[in-house]
A and B are shown apart, each in its own frame.
Chain A
Amino acid sequence: MKRATEGRVLISPWVTVLTVTCWLLVAALGSAQEAKPTQQKPQTVTFARDIAPIVFRSCSSCHHAGEAGPFPLVTYGDVKSHARQIADVTRKRLMPPWLPSTDGPKFAEDAHLSGHDIAILEKWVDAGMPEGNPAEAPPAPKFASGWQLGQPDLVLRAQTPFTIPASGSDVYWNFIFRSPVNLSRFVKAIEIHPGDKRLVHHANLLVDRTQSARRQEKSPGSGFAGMELQIESESFDPDGHFLFWKPGSPPIVEPPGFALRLDPENDLVLNAHLQPSGKPESVEPAIGIYFTDEAATRFPVLLQIENDRALDIRAGESNFIVTDEFTLPESVQLLALYPHAHYLCREMRATARFPDGTEKTLIHIPRWDLNWQAVFRLAKPEPLPRGTTVVMNYRYDNSSGNIANPNNPPQRVTAGNRAVDEMAHLWLQVLPDVQPAGQRDPRMVLQEALARHHIENNPADFEAHYNLAAMLEARGASEESVQQYQAALALRPGDATVENALGAALLSSGQIPEAVKHLYAATVARPGYFDAHYNLGIALANAREFARAAQEFTEAARLKPEDSGAEANLGAALAELGENQKAIAHFRRALQLDPQNKLARENLDALQQTP
């Protein structure tokens, strides 16, 4: 009699890939609007003719009711009553907030104000802020209230609002939106309403495919603190989208084919940077989701170049440089960049060194400011042919001369997730060129090369070992995969996720006793870990320890009563133990859950034919 506990059918290990902080957002290929400098006029500078066009274009999108700007700048009266302030902050280039210099490519939301515009603003203030002829002013911009993209197909609200204390340092809080969909859907846009926009500096939305962030909540729905997020995502499914909110940025609709997939088990996690206002404030974010019937056909990928290991900045060091170089193994189009560092960073630059030896600046931020970090989408995709080296260069100032220094007096600073630690990350959103059929997925090629690069930079890079292992496993390189998981485990002994993944890899390569050992360790390290119980059940069944296997499948089925695989395997183990009636019940239950469950069907048929 055929038993499902033998053979390939059972082996469906649940594997996870770790990624540290993914930032997702929509890649738009639209072209940027070039801000045209206002024509110089010999006459007196007036609001209507000269100032209104600058303000409406560069200020009003944040400075209107309900937006992040603390006061509106929409009418003559509004602008006049902040005129000196406007001249001052534009002259110092504090406003509009825009970090990149003009030496890189053009970005889609370029908010850079020209020197000419700044001079005009100053002139107008000096002239006593005349209004001029209102008929000459362009029409005041109109802003839709509520959802900018119209009523969403699905609106999610934070389960528990977060209260920001009246004073103290900035706060980083994570809100989990639990399994928003009950069947797999494609998403063309996500509009983030972060709560009171005056309080939110920026927010990143991450797709958590394995509900891994929930483990960080004290109680379900409470949310949790933390500047950086580590989430686990399911076996190699790189989420090539940035979902980012900053003040004034319009929500973006994905171009055709670029949809994001959401599955029933996925959570969305909003990582928000919040600033105390002087009184206790409640922040209650909401998210609007817009579905599309059009499946994803274009798959961008996020590449994280980093060299955190090089971050060891002694107190007082004012010019500390961190660099990294990564050579692309595939030709790609660069769609967007997300530079990320904390408070000590002063300046960053990324350059492309092309195979012909020429170089091009991809982004240059001469005065880094964490508060205005953003995803910078290119106005036009930049082709980076195979063999192009992306070079990142970050400069840090850990002296007391850096007012953003969180430590006073300065302290030695190394890499880490807290605001007082540092980071040297550059995320690239790239779209790999279309490959001829039969070639390896270029995303895998890119990520594998990147993981190897990270390990070269830092042999103690846990995520890199783990991710490399998962990718190797996915392409059938079992032996090296096991080695890489072992390297990851050595860096985090007893880690439940790694124990499970290593166990599953050992199981795939037939090393059953070793697999049992690690899978058992995973169940001990994290009680209630479905994947580990399920995989341990399979390993035990392979070792012909059916009684123990049945226990593990029972536990798996208890943890996830809707899982037909657990039920089918439980049935198979019971059948091996001669408990045919019980086995039949479980096969039937599996088939109720999933009528396509081949394992349950075949075993049930076999059992029912047995006298």
Chain B
Amino acid sequence: MFRANQLGRSRRGIFCAAVFSLLLFVASEACPHASLPASTLAEDLDGKPVDAFALSHGRVVVLLFVRTDCPISNRYAPRLQKLSEKYRGKADFWLVYPDREQTALQIRAHLEDFHYSIPALRDTRHALVRRAEAMITPEAAVFDSSGRLLYHGRIDNWYEDVGRSRARATTHELEDAISAALLGQTVTPDHAAAVGCYISDLK
């Protein structure tokens, strides 16, 4: 299994124990089940367990963390949908809903309202949140064909802060990361802070 610190990312690890000593803030919030083994199981909208990585068969995996009630997350819907269409067949896109309170029914309505055709997962145990080191909705994570986390963070620089946005984004971190992943390259920097709603507020 991939360990983050082997890529020179020593300040971040996928195991909560490692995170705990270095980043108290993440550990206390994002790893409430520190004793459980790391898993990438989430569930689909019928409640069936799904492992997005097992299903990818070596394709690039893109996780998009969203919420039904996060306005910034919602404003990104058209561009996320468009991006998924552009890379259809090359990369597997998943919408990941980390809010335990948002039901499959609400999520189905949300997909319909926002014209999403990207498959959705409920990540109620935050397994994918941990795997992607996600902190915010909306936030993206890009994994290469071997399931290594290449990039996680903002989609682009449209928002500088809550309520403070550019007319148009001028950098496109997610798309750059997908292109790199498809070419088998690494991504630098591998993280850019996202702007939106804190996943750690979800309990």
Contact B78 A83 (CB under 8 A): no
Chain B positions within 8 Å of A278 at CB level: 74-78, 114
Interface segment, A400-408, A530-538, A546-554? Answer: A400-408
Out of B75, B101, B202, which one reaches A277, CB within 8 Å? B75
Residue A85 is within 8 A (CB to CB) of chain B in the complex: yes
Alpha-carbon gap, A84 to B201, bound state (A): 6
B165's partner among A70, A88, A166, A403 (CB-CB below 8 A) is: A403
A89 within 8 A of B: yes
**Does the CB pair A97–B163 fall under 8 Å?**
yes
**Please, how many angstroms separate the alpha-carbon atoms of A84 and B198 in the complex?**
7
A81 at interface (Cβ–Cβ under 8 A)?
A: yes
A226 neighbours in B (Cβ, 8 Å): none
Asked if A89 meets B162 with Cβ closer than 8 Å, knowing A84-B201, A167-B78, the reply is yes
8 Å CB interface, B150-180 against A: 160-168, 170
- Chain A residues closer than 8 Å to B198, beta-carbon distance: 82, 84-85, 88
Residue-wise, chain B 172-203 has the 8 Å CB interface mask toward A (1 for contact) of 00000000000000000000000001101111
User: How many residues of A are counted as interface, with CB atoms below 8 angstroms from the partner's CB atoms?
Assistant: 33
Q: How far is the CB of A568 from chain B (nearest CB, A)?
A: 56
Residue interface mask A481-507, B partner, CB < 8 A = 1:
000000000000000000000000000
Please indicate the chain A residues that have their CB under 8 angstroms from the CB of B74 in the complex: 277-279
CB-based contact A371/B75 at 8 Å: no
Is B203 in contact with A85, judged by CB distance below 8 angstroms? no
Q: Are A404 and B166 in contact (CB under 8 A)?
A: yes
- A35 at the B interface (CB under 8 A): no
Are the C-beta atoms of B113 and A403 separated by less than 8 Å? no
Q: When the two chains form the complex, which single residue of B114, B160, B201 contacts A403, counting CB atoms closer than 8 Å?
A: B160
Which 3 interchain pairs have the tightest Cβ spacing?
Answer: A278-B74, A278-B77, A167-B78
- B71–A277 touching, CB < 8 Å: yes
Residues of B within 8 Å of A70, CB to CB, are: 69-71
Asked if A386 is at the interface of the complex by the 8 Å CB criterion, the answer is no
For the complex formed, measure the closest distance between the CB of A119 and the CB atoms of chain B, giving whole angstroms. Answer: 18
Q: Write the A76-92 contact mask toward B (1 if CB under 8 angstroms, else 0).
A: 00001111110011001
Shortest distance between the CB of A82 and any CB in chain B (Å): 5
Is there a chain A Cβ closer than 8 Å to B48's Cβ? no
B95 to chain A, nearest CB (A): 13
By size class, the interface of chain B is: 20 to 34
Nearest residue, chain B, Cβ from A419: B167
Whether A279 lies near B201 (C-beta < 8 A) is no
Interface centre among A81, A400, A404 (most CB of B within 10 A): A81
User: Can you identify 29 A-B contacts, CB atoms within 8 angstroms?
Assistant: A70-B71, A71-B69, A81-B101, A81-B203, A84-B198, A84-B200, A84-B201, A85-B162, A85-B197, A94-B164, A95-B163, A97-B163, A166-B78, A166-B115, A167-B75, A167-B77, A277-B71, A277-B74, A277-B75, A278-B74, A278-B75, A279-B74, A279-B114, A343-B167, A403-B165, A404-B166, A405-B167, A406-B167, A408-B170
Instruction: Name the A residues within 8 Å of B203 (CB-CB).
Output: 80-81
CB-CB contacts of A55-89 with B at 8 A, as 1s and 0s? 00000000000000011000000001111110011
A421 interface residue (CB < 8 Å to B): no
Q: Which residues of B contact A (CB under 8 A)?
A: 29, 69-71, 74-79, 101, 113-115, 160-168, 170, 197-198, 200-203
Contact A408 B75 (CB under 8 A): no
Minimum C-beta distance from B168 to chain A (A) = 6
Q: Which residues of B contact A81 (CB under 8 A)?
A: 101, 201-203
How many Å lie between the Cα of A167 and that of B169 in the bound state? 13
Q: Are A166 and B77 in contact, CB atoms less than 8 angstroms apart?
A: yes
Residue among A83, A85, A94, A408 making CB contact with B166, cutoff 8 Å:
A408
Contact A279 B77 (CB under 8 A): yes
CB-CB under 8 A from A95, the residues of chain B are 162-163
Give the nearest-CB partner of B70 in chain A: A70
A385 within 8 A of B: no
**Interface of chain A, helix or strand or loop or mixed?**
loop
Q: A599 to B168, alpha carbons, bound, how many Å?
A: 63
Bound CA span A403–B165, Å: 7
Q: How far is the CB of B74 from chain A (nearest CB, A)?
A: 4
Contact A279 B164 (CB under 8 A): no
A408: B residues at CB distance < 8 A? 166-168, 170
- B201 → chain A, closest Cβ, in Å? 5
Closest to B159 in A: A403
Which residues of the partner chain A approach B79 to less than 8 Å between Cβ atoms?
167
Tell me whether A369 is interfacial, beta carbon within 8 Å: yes
Does A279 contact B115, Cβ atoms closer than 8 Å?
yes
For the complex formed, measure the closest distance between the CB of A87 and the CB atoms of chain B, giving whole angstroms.
10
Instruction: Write out the residue numbers on chain A whose beta carbons fall within 8 Å of the beta carbon of B29.
Output: 84
Q: Select from chain A the residue with minimum beta-carbon distance to B158.
A: A403
The interface centre, meaning the residue of A166, A278, A406 with most chain B CB atoms within 10 A of its CB, is A278
Least Cβ distance of A527 to chain B in Å?
A: 39
A285 and B75 CA atoms in complex are apart in Å by 22
Q: A369 and B75: CB pair below 8 A?
A: no
Residues of B within 8 Å of A404, CB to CB, are 164, 166-167
What is the bound-complex CA distance between A408 and B158, given in angstroms? 12
CA distance A53 to B198 in the complex (A): 23
Asked if A105 is an interface residue, CB under 8 A from chain B, the answer is no
Tell me, in angstroms, the Cα distance from A97 to B71 when the chains sit together: 16
Interface residues of A in 332-369 (CB under 8 A from B): 343, 369
Q: For residues 428 through 464 of chain A, which have their beta carbon under 8 Å from a beta carbon of chain B?
A: none
The closest CB in chain B to the CB of A343 belongs to B167
Q: Which residues of A, 259-285, contact B by the 8 Å Cβ criterion?
A: 276-279
**B75 proximity list for chain A (CB < 8 A):** 167, 276-278
A85 — nearest CB in chain B belongs to which residue?
Answer: B198
B contact residues around A82 at 8 Å (CB): 197-198, 201
A581 within 8 A of B: no
A97 to chain B, nearest CB (A): 7
Given A84-B198, A403-B160, A408-B170, output 19 extra A-B contacts at Cβ < 8 Å: A80-B201, A83-B201, A84-B200, A85-B198, A88-B162, A88-B198, A92-B161, A92-B162, A94-B162, A94-B164, A166-B114, A169-B167, A169-B168, A278-B76, A278-B114, A404-B164, A404-B166, A405-B166, A408-B166
Neighbouring B residues of A84 by C-beta, 8 Å: 29, 198, 200-201
Residue A193 lies at the interface, judged by CB distance under 8 Å to chain B: no
